Amino acid sequence: MTPNKHSGKEILIFIFILLLFPVRHGRAQSFPEDSSRFQVSTGVFFYRSYSQQKTDMPMRSGYPVLKTRTAVLGLNYRKINERATHLLSGQVSVPAAMGSDNGTGRNFLLQKAGSRYTFLNMDYRLTWPLLKTGAFVIRHGMSSGLFFEDRHLAYQGNASEATRDWNIYLGPSLQSGYCINKNWKITGEFDARLYVPFLNYGLLRKSNSSGQLFFKRAYHSFFYQALFRLLLNYKRVSLGVVKSDLAGFASREPDFETEGMLHHKLDRHFSIQMSVAL
Amino acid sequence: MNRCLKKYGLMLVLLGIAGCTEFFVKPDRQDQWRIRENDRIVLHYREPGFSDDPSPTPGEAAFILNNQRLYYRAIQDSIHRDFSEKVLIYLHNQDEAVKHIGTGGGGHSIPKFNAFYFSFFHAGREYTDQYGVENPFLGAHELVHVISHQTLGYPGTKLMSEGYANWLDGSYAKYDIGAIVVYYRDNEPEKIMTPDELLFQTERPDEVYYPNAGVFTAFLVRQYGIEKVNRLFTSGKAVFISDFGRIFDASWKDMNEKYALYIEGLAP
């Protein structure tokens, strides 16, 4: 996945916005993770929703692809106890227009102005120390949360499809960190998120080219998401990239039946983010 | 201590593997296409010499494009629904189709993306479809899936989904579906499927299920009219029979008897 080249301008704008936040000059502390505190973050988010090009295992995702790029804003609170670390985080994307790519860069599917994508993610991560050798630390634990996604596809012939789903997930979490020196640290994080149909709800609506609603159904999703974060930390500032793959399908009933499938996701999320500890 | 480290190490490896979704969903960024399009169809196909198996010639690509445009209109007329979106067709050469789309002898559709994938090959058998097209490389089957899903809603059963596709295509493996069902009736009666079997025995092989589903759907349309059948398209399996009774104002049992007589009377 390659970020759009125009994202450099947006990154500069976000850095400028972050610099407006007051940064306390108290007693020097090596890393924000060493104490309980709030963090604000911002970044650029890239969304790609691929087609199911090959449906039997191993599956292949391909073109055409639905895509967008937007800004994300986040707020975290980290509470550190003697052994456990609690991290509450929220992230929201700015609603953005969507386009498509047939594989050669052409959009045959969507009207950009009428198509829209946005998401909201509330996450809770609880971790404990697993391994510590010298400057290298591994923490393990679990993450759970709510992922809300709202997508409106306005096709070029004026038909449309809107999906809106609320999904609860749960899964293991792994963090590794290496202290380069007292100011610099690099961390890698991995979350595996399982979304089971019994805990999720979505609504799909289809309208024809005259704008008449002709199909409306609730659905329940079975997804798996693998999320990787790579962060470079300097004192209170972190700069990082996040890559996430979300795959699965949604059916009418909260089970794992694919007959009567209403929705699928073969999505790749990629973001470049900066955060500042307050 | 060593056992603990081994256990944790194994856990890390397993988590790493589980984190790689590419093990079970591999991205395939195909961008080497020639494109030919008209007002409704966008045909992506391979250039000559792309793989060991032949690519469509410009004449063959034009032929496919024109046929799909014909089917596009015919499908709308048959189901009484308007559709005006562009449909994207990705035509892989036969040898590379197995790797990229999972089959070298057919294809599948992704209606939400107004797209379908198909393998290009020269069939050995001469065949003229129900629209008068001689030896079409691609039939109407996948296009029916796209248009029906996008104008009627997502089907609740395999019966309706494949029923519409086979009814409006009219063929399976370059044989007329009516002729296939007549052959089954006369020579392999265990392969004639009742409406209940079509609804619940969806794991039967495609060469049995598809022609039966197509003939049954054609019967329903002929007997009750397309608008009522369209309303049944999105009914789920659990409510299909009750919805049939409500929409068609007829009993499922009576319809079964009528269908059995219809099959008996099908001409060779």
User: Quick one: what percent of chain B has pLDDT higher than 90?
Assistant: 82
List of chain B residues whose C-beta atoms are within 8 Å of the C-beta of residue A53? 28, 30, 90, 100-101, 117
ipTM of predicted assembly, 2 dp? 0.89
Looking at residues B99-128, what average pLDDT do you find? Answer: 91
CB atoms within 10 A of CB A149: 21
Is the CB of residue A54 less than 8 Å away from at least one CB of chain B?
A: yes
For residues A83 and B75, the model is more confident at B75
Is the CB of residue A166 less than 8 Å away from at least one CB of chain B?
A: no
3-state class percentages of chain B: helix first, strand second, coil last, to nearest 5: 55, 15, 30
Is the CB of residue A50 less than 8 Å away from at least one CB of chain B?
A: yes
List of chain A residues whose C-beta atoms are within 8 Å of the C-beta of residue B29? 62-63, 103
- Pick among A53, A151, A209 to test the B interface (most B CBs inside 10 A): A53
Query: Does residue A9 register a pLDDT over 70?
Result: no
Q: What pLDDT digit, counting tens, does each position of B92-108 carry?
A: 999 999 888 888 889 99
Query: Residue A51's pLDDT is what?
Result: 92
The nearest CA of chain A is from the CA of B100 a distance in Å of 6
Is the CB of residue A247 less than 8 Å away from at least one CB of chain B?
A: yes
CB atoms B86 and A266 under 8 Å: no
Looking at residues B15-38, what average pLDDT do you find? Answer: 77
CA B91 and chain centroid, separation: 15
For chains A and B, count residue pairs whose Cβ atoms are closer than 8 Å: 151
For residues A32 and A218, the model is more confident at A218
Closest CA to B261 of B170, B194, B191, B183: B194
The nearest CA of chain B is from the CA of A123 a distance in Å of 18
Looking at residues A105-114, what average pLDDT do you find? Answer: 94
Q: Is the peptide bond before A64 cis (omega within 30 degrees of 0)?
A: yes
Q: Where are the alpha helices (DSSP H) in chain A?
A: 7-19
Query: Residue A61's pLDDT is what?
Result: 87
For residues B25 and B222, the model is more confident at B222
Give residue B24's pLDDT band: very low, low, confident or very high (50, 70, 90).
Answer: low
Query: Does residue B185 register a pLDDT over 90?
Result: yes
Window 220-239 of A: residues touching B by CB (8 A cutoff) are 224, 226, 228
Looking at residues A78-101, what average pLDDT do you find? Answer: 93
Query: Helix or strand or coil: residue B100?
Result: helix
Query: Helix or strand or coil: residue B225?
Result: coil
Give residue A54's pLDDT band: very low, low, confident or very high (50, 70, 90).
Answer: confident
Q: What pLDDT digit, counting tens, does each position of A226-278 carry?
A: 999 999 999 899 999 999 999 999 999 888 777 778 999 999 999 999 999 98
CB atoms within 10 A of CB B186: 11
Query: Does residue B228 register a pLDDT over 90?
Result: yes
Q: What pLDDT digit, counting tens, does each position of A193-229 carry?
A: 999 889 999 999 999 999 999 999 999 999 999 999 9
Is the CB of residue A139 less than 8 Å away from at least one CB of chain B?
A: no
Query: Does residue B130 register a pLDDT over 80?
Result: yes
Q: Residue A218: closest CA among chain B residues belongs to which residue?
A: B154
User: Quick one: what percent of chain B has pLDDT higher than 70?
Assistant: 91
Give residue B212's pLDDT band: very low, low, confident or very high (50, 70, 90).
Answer: very high
Q: How far is CA B156 from CA A82, A252, B74, B78, in A?
A: 53, 9, 24, 20
CB atoms A109 and B86 under 8 Å: yes
Provide the whole-model pTM.
0.89
Task: Give the integer Cα–Cα distance in Å for B65 and B38.
Answer: 8
Q: How far is CA A95 from CA A134, A195, B113, in A?
A: 44, 23, 21
**Which of B24, B44, B152 is opposite residue A57, by nearest beta carbon?**
B24
**Which of B15, B115, B154 is opposite residue A172, by nearest beta carbon?**
B15
Query: Residue A261's pLDDT is what?
Result: 87
User: Quick one: what percent of chain A has pLDDT higher than 90?
Assistant: 71
Share the mean pLDDT of chain A: 86
CB atoms A157 and B84 under 8 Å: yes
The nearest CA of chain B is from the CA of A24 a distance in Å of 37
Query: Residue A44's pLDDT is what?
Result: 97
Query: Does residue B136 register a pLDDT over 60?
Result: yes
Query: Residue B38's pLDDT is what?
Result: 94
Query: Residue A3's pLDDT is what?
Result: 34
Check: CB of residue A278 under 8 Å from CB of residue A58.
no
- Pick among A57, A108, A132, A176 to test the B interface (most B CBs inside 10 A): A108
For residues A35 and B38, the model is more confident at B38
Query: Does residue A123 register a pLDDT over 60?
Result: yes
Query: Residue A18's pLDDT is what?
Result: 42
Query: Residue A36's pLDDT is what?
Result: 75
For residues B103 and A30, the model is more confident at B103
Regarding beta strands A59-80 and A99-101, do their DSSP bridges make them parallel or antiparallel, or are they unpaired?
Answer: antiparallel
List of chain B residues whose C-beta atoms are within 8 Å of the C-beta of residue A265? none
